[in-house]
Structures are given as C-alpha cells and as structure tokens.
Chains A and B, each alone.
Chain A
Amino acid sequence: MVLLEVKNLTKDYYKKDGGVIPVLSDINFSIRKGETFAIIGPNGSGKTTLLRILGLLESPTQGEVQYRGRDVINLSRKHKTQYRRELSFVRQKPLVRDASVFDNIAFGLKVRGLKLKQYKNSVEDMIKRVGLSGMKNKSARSLSGGEMQRVVIAMNFIITPEIYLLDEVSANLDPVNVKILDNFINEIKQDKQKTIVLSTHDRYEAIRLADRIAVLNEGTIKQINTPSLIFQSPKDEFTAQFVGYENIFGGVASIDLKTHLNHVKINDLVITTSSQKEGKVKVCIHPESIIIAKNAPQNVSSLNLFKGKVEEVRDLGNLIHVVIRTNSEKFLVSITKLSQQKLEIKNGSEVYINFKATDVKIL
C-alpha cells in the first residue's frame, strides 16, 4: 500500500532582488507503508527542504504530497494538525521546550489529548530507556548537549506515529546516542508497520537502514532503487561518485562456535566473515576487494571462494567493472584493463572469485 506519494514537487526560494533559487525540481516518488526510505545526497542537495515539506513546515512552490491518497498541502489548519499528528519529525539540531525533561517528553502525548494518568507511566519508562533516570524534573534546557539529544529522541519516539521523518539525525549524535537511536529504529523496522523517511549523507547508514534509497543532487532525484542495485549499478556519474560502488547482500548471520567465524547465508550462497554480528544483517564487499581467477586457486588464505559466470563487462576507461553471477547472487568486481586482457574476461567467461573474510563488512 502506498502511504506517501510525492508528485511533481518543486520548491523555489525567491531572493530579494527577484532572483530565483531552485531548491527542488520535479520530485516524484512514493513510499509504501512499513518501508524505510532513505534520501541520500550531499549538503545543500535539498534533503532537509524535502523532509520539511513532507512535515508541512514549508509549502512547495508546485506539486502535491499525498498521504493515503489525499493531498495534504492545501488542507485546512485543523486537518493539517491531524496530518502532523501522524508524523514524528526528528530534526538535525536538538531543541527542547523551556520545561522539565518529563514535560518535554510528554508534550506530544499531551497535545494529542492524553491525560497525565494515561501517559505518566510510559513517559517514565521512556526516561529510563534513554538513560535520563533521575533527571525527570530537571529543566531540559539546562542539560548537556548529549542529554538534550536524548530528550529529543525520546519525545519523538514516544508518539508512535505512522511516519517517522528523520533529518540527518545521526550526523550530530555522540556514539552512545547513535546506539539509542538505532535501537528505536530497529524496533520500528521489526514489526514493519511504521514507515521511516530519513535523510543522510552517510552511505553506510543508508545501506544499513533503508529498503530503498533515493539519490538527491542539486534538487533533483537521480535514481531510486534498493541499496544493492544502486551501489552495484549506479545509473549516472553523480551517483557513482557520491555513493560509490559496493556489493550489498541481505542475509542471516550465525557464528560457528569452533572457528569463531561468522557465516552469513544469502539465499543459496554462504559468505564467511570475521565480524561478530549475528541475526539479520547486511553484508558489504568492496568491488576492489574481490580477486578474479581463471582457474580454481589453490592454497589461498581467503575463505570466500565462489565459481561464477561473467554477465557483463563495463569499460570505465582505466578500470573495468565485471558483473559475475554465482548461484543466486551477482558480484561487482573492479579490475584493471591489463588484468582483463590477461585473463581474457568477456561475457560468458567462467571464473572464480575470492575475497578475505576480513574484507567483508557487516552492517
């Protein structure tokens, strides 16, 4: 089910001298219920403006934002509030109201008409959960930056709305708070009921969290796709340069108790890694880390060895990108032109690929 749809959205800023700065131009995408959608792009690409428009903090110059099939841009004040109550908007800079920690965290529930009796316990649980026990009655503005960030996380995640808008939230967080935030996000992602729209300039964050990624540059969407497709075959030069190339697979990891090695099962492929994270994971392998061999190599130290078939050869000038299929998965491998010529790699060639367990990154 499509929950949020953006149609032909354009945003221009007008300068005092009459000049026009286009911030977003002709943005189109739709987000399904339960999906995590990441908008990735450099600073100034329009990510924040796009999220602000989705949160009705700014109105577009043109175009529509539809929530459950109904346009929200031209709603009455009352209905705009109703729509906003379906959202949580965590912004880049932490900002709290001039009130106690408890009052700040309770605010979203209070404005939704809940009584103190009804929210008291959940607010107190939340205060414990973000590690602010004992600070309940402190003024939130007197807290340290890191503590204030936790208040902001707590007050936005206690609401349990339909959609979470997260604007570069982890960019300014300290490591402890990144963990707290990740916990909340993973919990939301688990039951697949709530939708997350996040903006980031960190590609690993996008890979780790997103079901789909939209690449935004200079106000236009370059492409929208799953992380593995975007990172394996970026459609344009900007995406290739900004997000870079990466082999990404989703699988289930379990550690072998004898060898302490981690085996990640990806469809009918098992990748071995030295990373110790178990359960549902995402696996990243750099195209540069993979070695191609014409014959089955013997006595090599790398633990991952697969036989495959070349499906595509892309000439990037001095570098060659080779797409190799092994069992159910495709690998992107980056080699030099010289190697390609030496090994006579072309479409249909049968080759072996291998890479070290320590080169496998787990997210």
Chain B
Amino acid sequence: MSNEIIDGFFQAIYLIFTFDPEVWSVIAVSFRVSLTSTFLATLVALPIGSFIGLREFRGKRFISNLINTFMGFPPVVMGLIVFLLLSSSGLFGFLGLLYSTTAMIIAQFLLAVPIILGTGKAAIESVEPALKETVLSLGANERQLWWELIKDSKKSIIAGFLVTFGQAISEVGAVMIVGGNIRWSTRTFTTSIVLQTRMGEFGMAIALGIILITIAFILNYGMTRLQGSGK
C-alpha cells in the first residue's frame, strides 16, 4: 500500500513535468468553468450586493439573512436542482445542456451569486461612514457615491472574488452531478481525483491534488498580500 503511494507520488511529478495532455485537459476545464462562473456571478451580483449595502430600506435585514443563508447552500443540493432543471424531463431540458461545461457553469454561478452578493454588501458597508459623508457633502449623487465606495473597497471586493473562485475550483458535488465527469470534456480536478482514487490510479490523483493545493496556496497568498497592504 505504502509503495503504491510513493510510486504514485513519483508518477505525479512525472505527469506534471511532462505536461501530460490529460492533466492539461483537466486543468483547462477546471479553470474555464470556475473562472467563467465567478466572473459572471461578479458581473451580476456585485452591483446588486453593493447597492443593497449602500441603501437603507425596509426588508433589508430580511434580504441580508436570505443572502447569508444562501452563502452556505450545500453544493450537492445545488447540483441536484440544476440537474433536475436541465434533465430531459425538466423545465429547461429542451436546451440539452446536461453533462456540458455550460451546465457546470450554471451550477457554480448559482453557488457563487450569494457569496458575491454578501461580500459586495459587506465591502460597501465596511467603508468608513465619514468617507461616505464627505463624498456626499461634496455633492456626489447616489451613482457617484456608489462608484467612490466601490473604489475605496476594491481590496475587499477582489478578496471576495478570490474566495469565490477558490470555492468554485475545489467544489466536487455539483460539477459531478451536472457535468457527469466526462473524460476530455467535463472532467475537473476534483471529479478526476475522485475517479482516479476509486480506480487506484494514485499517481494521477496525487498530481492533480498537488496542483489544486498549489492553486489554493497562490490564492491565499494573494489575499494575505491584499489584506496586508492596508484595507
């Protein structure tokens, strides 16, 4: 057993440094799905989240609770929901998107939206009230104020983006269910690791694990750097 693991480790290094095409396919799919979903979620949820943070209105507390609840939504359940919607008998079955990267992007997008909503809202709310007031008393309208606050909290917003991306790329359940783990097509780091481990192909599993951990390390390093340099 222990020999297998050691063998696997050496095989992993071999796979990484010989640029194995299958490893590269997995990396490409993972990045494409996670980046696209995080990016789209930011595009949609950042303006809305920051707007919620900016304004005071009735029901704001309820909406905040709702966002917080969905931030911890179980990915597997999200996978199930998207699966049911996209399956041939589902509401959007006619689109024929099940077991495609688009389906994976949709699932991860839905998981990412609440997180970006929450971080956008928190980022705006954490701006010093005195800055808001200064900008307002200099004559800014609401849109101009919003832009100033976004600029002032850009570090928290970038950090939020990185966290969301990190969660997306290491997520298993949803992408497994809606993507189907198809080789060369919808296989990602995580689904691949699950499969290779089952098949006893530890080399490939360890190689992917090492890459995934390296990515996580780089993301965290980036975030610490961000937080270290001021806000």
Contact = CB atoms under 8 A, between A and B. Distances in A.
B139 interface: yes
Interface in A50-104: 55-57, 77-78, 81, 84-85, 87-89, 91, 93, 95, 97-98
Contacts of B128: 95
Nearest to B231: A98
Point out which of A55, A77, A89, A159 has the most chain B C-beta atoms below 10 A from its C-beta.
Answer: A89
B150 to A, nearest CB: 12
B63 interface: no
Interface string B183-199: 00000000000000000
Given A77-B142, A97-B131, A111-B141, A84 B136 contact: yes
Contacts, number: 50
Interface of A: 55-57, 77-78, 81, 84-85, 87-89, 91, 93, 95, 97-98, 107-108, 111-112, 155-156, 159
Given A98-B151, A111-B144, A159 B138 contact: yes
B139 A84 contact: yes
Contacts of B142: 77, 81
B137 interface: yes
Contact of A159 (B134, B139, B144): B139
A107 B131 CA distance: 13
Chain B interface category by residue count: 10 to 19
Nearest to B135: A97
B130 interface: yes
Given A97-B131, A97-B152, A98-B152, A55 B137 contact: yes
13 contacts: A77-B142, A81-B140, A81-B142, A84-B137, A85-B139, A87-B137, A95-B131, A107-B140, A108-B138, A111-B140, A111-B141, A112-B139, A156-B138
A93 B130 CA distance: 9
A164 to B, nearest CB: 11
Contact of B139 (A93, A95, A97, A111): A111
A159 B134 CA distance: 14
B148 interface: yes
B148 to A, nearest CB: 7
Interface in B17-52: none
B7 interface: no
Contacts of B131: 95, 97
B144 A88 contact: no
B133 interface: yes
A127 B132 CA distance: 24
Contacts of A81: 139-142
A351 B165 CA distance: 89
Contacts of A84: 136-137, 139
Contacts of A156: 138
Contacts of B138: 107-108, 111, 155-156, 159
Interface in B124-176: 128, 130-131, 133-142, 144, 148, 151-152
A108 B135 CA distance: 8
Interface in B93-131: 128, 130-131
A89 B142 CA distance: 18
Contact of A78 (B136, B139, B141, B152): B141
A98 B131 CA distance: 10
Given A77-B142, A93-B130, A95-B130, A88 B148 contact: no
Contact of B136 (A57, A95, A98): A57
Given A111-B138, A159-B139, 16 more contacts: A57-B133, A57-B137, A77-B141, A77-B142, A78-B141, A81-B141, A84-B139, A91-B133, A97-B131, A97-B135, A97-B148, A98-B151, A108-B138, A108-B139, A111-B139, A159-B138
Contacts of A155: 138
Nearest to B144: A111
A156 B139 CA distance: 10
Nearest to B137: A89
Contacts of A57: 133, 136-137
A87 B141 CA distance: 14
Nearest to B148: A97
Nearest to A152: B134
Nearest to B130: A95
Contacts of A77: 141-142
A218 B43 CA distance: 50
A110 to B, nearest CB: 8
A93 B134 CA distance: 10
A316 B140 CA distance: 53
Interface in B52-102: none
Nearest to A81: B141
Contacts of B137: 55, 57, 84, 87-89, 91
Point out which of B135, B139, B148, B152 has the most chain A C-beta atoms below 10 A from its C-beta.
Answer: B139
A298 to B, nearest CB: 61
Point out which of B131, B137, B140 has the most chain A C-beta atoms below 10 A from its C-beta.
Answer: B137
